[in-house]
Amino acid sequence: MPAELVVGAQWGDEGKAKIIDYLSKNTDIIVRYQGGANAGHTVVVDGKKYVFHLVPSGVIYPNTICVIGNGVVLDPFFFLQECDALNSQGFDVFNKILISDACHILLPFHQKIDSLIEMSSAPNQKIGTTKRGIGICYADKMMRTGLRAGDLLDKQLLEEKLKGIVERKNEILVKLYNTDTIDYKELYERLHNFAERVGHLITNTSYYLNQELKKGKHVLLEGAQGTCLDIDFGTYPYVTSSNSTTGGSISGTGISYYYLKRVYGISKAYATRVGEGPFPTELFGEEGEKIRSLGQEYGATTGRPRRCGWFDVEVIRHASRVNGLTDLVLTKIDILSNLDFIPVGVGYELNGKKLDYFPSQNLEKVKVIYEELEGWKENICGINKFEDLPLNCQKFIQFLESKVEVPISVISTGPDRIHTIVRNVDVE
Ligand code: GDP
Ligand code: IMO
Ligand code: MG
């Protein structure tokens, strides 16, 4: 069996976890490959809601193994809290999770520095991060000064590395930020306790995953964030600090690219973004508020209101190119019921010239070209056959499909696992 990938096609929060959960019933192993606790992944089963940040979204299936890949930045204390909460709901997560020995450990000072930078930046220089320390931890990874999960397994190595790291960070905290220092002893004890509790889960997951794929196991790679938040292909600098796109799923797991057979891009039937940065089809004032309130668009991690706008074809075409999408999944189409007309952004102009692609620069200056489609009045929440959708809704989906040139093989008509339409694809 091959590996499959679920990746965000917009600015995150597309409903990836709902689709990961849906696809997980046919999956043996689910792997997070980048990001960290900045993700907020919501799954609804039989009306009960679960929100995951670090633990892969398939954990509630009894027989799936969940892997934290080498590309993730793991906050060990947050991870324990999340696992303990799931264990108290009866999910026995410590028997089904593996952690890459090469994934980087996110420490309290990463979070502290992230918050300090955000708070002290001029309004036009803020990124609007989740303040979970993600960018600072990845910076340490790239500087080759980070601590990795495997380091926690050797007491002496941990002592030596952590001492050096805390010394350097304390200097930065005092001299640059004029703030409190980190207590080495306390941090060492906490990390040591973490290793005592979950050290047995830390292993070479690249080797494990390739071995399992070779045996014919089915692996699902769980993307966090989305294409337009990718450090290379997103709206830099208003992005996260990892490759959330397909390339990151290979480097963040260490599986051979050869196994990757299917890439699902997830997109809302409209668009949202949290944090700062350009958003060409954004709606302001009452119009934006209407979609926000209909879609309940508030962040699953920070609770911040999400900025809302119309579906942007150029964004999805960009996502299709950089990820090699084989399928597009359209979520939250139920939120668009009751509109007389639904605008769709079908292209961009810059300085009076039509652009052929999603630009790396000057996105805030593009003019969006819109087409309007007729809406439908019926409540479509929970419909699970394409033919049962109102005709205008079917036409809307077919219109998007023709513009993005990727088959829309799954359509989500509500938050629950069962609120799903599958078209022409064998995922049942
Ligand atoms: P993710 O980060 O991509 O996994 O998405 P989030 O969980 O942050 O946000 C998606 C939100 O939309 C969650 O509250 C989901 O329960 C909800 N959701 C997903 N698909 C649908 C859908 O088709 N219709 C509706 N109404 N809600 C959905
Ligand atoms: P999921 O996986 C939406 C955004 C933040 C900010 C930028 C950088 O739930 O789709 P960071 O804390 O990563 O340094 O913040 O990225 N962001 C997300 N937006 N969904 C997410 O994750 C996000 N993770 C980060 O709001 O604009
Ligand atoms: Mg989310």
* Contact between 38 and 32 (Cβ < 8 Å): no
Catalytic residue among 28, 41, 230, 419: 41
318 catalytic residue (yes or no): no
Token pair 């109102």 in the structure block, residue: 390
Residue 274 near ligand 2, beta carbon < 6 Å? yes
* Contact between 194 and 152 (Cβ < 8 Å): yes
Beta strands 48-52; 41-45: pairing state: antiparallel
Task: Give the three-class secondary structure for 32.
Answer: strand
Residue ranges of the chain with pLDDT lower than 70? 1, 425-428
| Probe residue for ligand 1, chosen from 332, 379, 381, 408 as the CB with the greatest number of ligand atoms within 8 Å | 332
| Mean pLDDT of the chain, nearest integer | 96
pLDDT digits (tens, 9 = 90+) for 109-145: 999 999 999 999 998 889 999 999 999 999 999 999 9
Distance CA 320, CA 404 (A): 8
Beta strands 65-68; 48-52: pairing state: unpaired
CA distances from 63 to 27, 28, 60, 300 (A): 9, 7, 9, 26
13 catalytic residue (yes or no): yes
Beta strands 260-268; 327-331: pairing state: parallel
Q: Measuring CA to CA, which residue among 57, 13, 8 is closest to residue 296? A: 13
Beta strands 408-412; 420-422: pairing state: antiparallel
* pTM to 2 decimal places: 0.97
Q: Measuring CA to CA, which residue among 96, 95, 104, 91 is closest to residue 37? A: 104
Residue 7 near ligand 1, beta carbon < 6 Å? no
Complete domains list, the chain, with CATH = 3-101+202-264 (3.40.440.10), 104-198 (1.10.300.10), 267-427 (3.90.170.10)
Residue 13 near ligand 1, beta carbon < 6 Å? yes
pLDDT digits (tens, 9 = 90+) for 295-338: 999 988 889 999 999 999 999 999 999 999 999 999 999 999 99
Helix residue ranges per DSSP H, 36-133: 76-88, 108-120
159 backbone dihedrals φ, ψ, rounded to 5°: -55, -50
Residue 44 near ligand 1, beta carbon < 6 Å? yes
Looking at residue 404, what DSSP letter applies?
H
- Record the tokens describing residue 78, joined without a space: 């947050």
Catalytic residue among 13, 114, 140, 151: 13
pLDDT at res. 300? 84
* Contact between 350 and 366 (Cβ < 8 Å): yes
Report how far ligand 2's centroid is from the alpha carbon of 141 (Å): 19
| Probe residue for ligand 1, chosen from 331, 333, 384 as the CB with the greatest number of ligand atoms within 8 Å | 331
The helix (run of H) or strand (run of E) holding residue 349 is strand 341-350
- Record the tokens describing residue 205, joined without a space: 């997951």
pLDDT at res. 318? 98
Sorted by sequence, the CB contacts under 8 Å of residue 347 that are 6+ apart come out as 313, 314, 354, 355, 368, 369
Distance CA 342, CA 170 (A): 53
CA distances from 158 to 104, 188, 208 (A): 13, 8, 24
pLDDT at res. 428? 45
Report how far ligand 2's centroid is from the alpha carbon of 129 (Å): 7
pLDDT at res. 1? 67
- Closest ligand 2 atom, CA of 40? 9
The rounded Cα 246 to chain-centroid distance in angstroms is 12
- Closest ligand 1 atom, CA of 414? 24
Three-state SS for 129-153 is CCCCCHHHHHHHHHHCCCCEHHHHH
Q: How many CB atoms lie within 10 A of CB 133?
A: 26
